[in-house]
Amino acid sequence: MPSAVVDSSLILRLLIDEPGSAQAQAQWAVWKRERADIAAPALLIYETVNALHQSWRHKLLATDEVMQAVAILMSFPIRYYRSLHIADRAAELARELQMGATYDGFYIALAETLPYEFWTGDRRLYHNVHKRFDFVRSFWDDGQQASPEEIRELP
């Protein structure tokens, strides 16, 4: 069974229409079809809901759109992990990779620990780390992707 750690940038592309949304939906369809084990640090919930809130603050989403997106987020079959056991590795990765914050380090550290592939919708993060970590994937890569016909209703 395939398995992946996903980050908030990928999940946001499932919830709101932005560049990369079709590719994220296609990848989600593949995981759904293959009954993949999808995991994330609990941080994903906070980051995603905050990004939705910021979209509301900047008048990009209406209140009902935010509430609907949050409901969909909570229905996704994602297994969430507490981050206590990977905090030191996340901090180490942030230093080594000269990240502005440790958030992305938590996703990478969890993927290392499980060990799962790490899928991100963040183009810059992907390009900065995928050569160092062979388990980092993104739909921004020209690698294997689902066809548009495989896109199915979420979640």
CATH for 3-140, among 1.10.760.10, 3.30.70.2660, 3.40.50.740, 3.40.50.1010? 3.40.50.1010
Q: What is the mean pLDDT of residues 7-25?
A: 95
Domain ranges of the chain: 3-140
* Sequence-distant (≥ 6) Cβ neighbours of residue 120 within 8 angstroms: 6, 7, 9, 10, 104, 107, 126, 136, 137, 138
Question: pLDDT value at position 114?
Answer: 96
Q: CA end-to-end span of the chain, whole Å?
A: 18
Question: pLDDT value at position 139?
Answer: 87
CA distance 43 to 38: 14
> In this predicted model, what pLDDT tens digit does every residue of 132-145 receive, in sequence order?
999 999 988 654 44
pTM: 0.88
pLDDT at 149 over 50: no
Q: What is the mean pLDDT of the chain?
A: 90
Residue given tokens 């949050």 in the structure block: 70
CA distance 19 to 21: 6
> In this predicted model, what pLDDT tens digit does every residue of 42-70 receive, in sequence order?
999 999 999 999 999 999 999 999 999 99
Q: What is the mean pLDDT of residues 80-102?
A: 95
Question: Residue 98 to residues 4, 39, 95, 103, 127: CA-CA distances in angstroms?
Answer: 24, 25, 5, 12, 14
Question: pLDDT value at position 154?
Answer: 38
CA distance 1 to 33: 11
Q: What is the mean pLDDT of residues 9-19?
A: 95
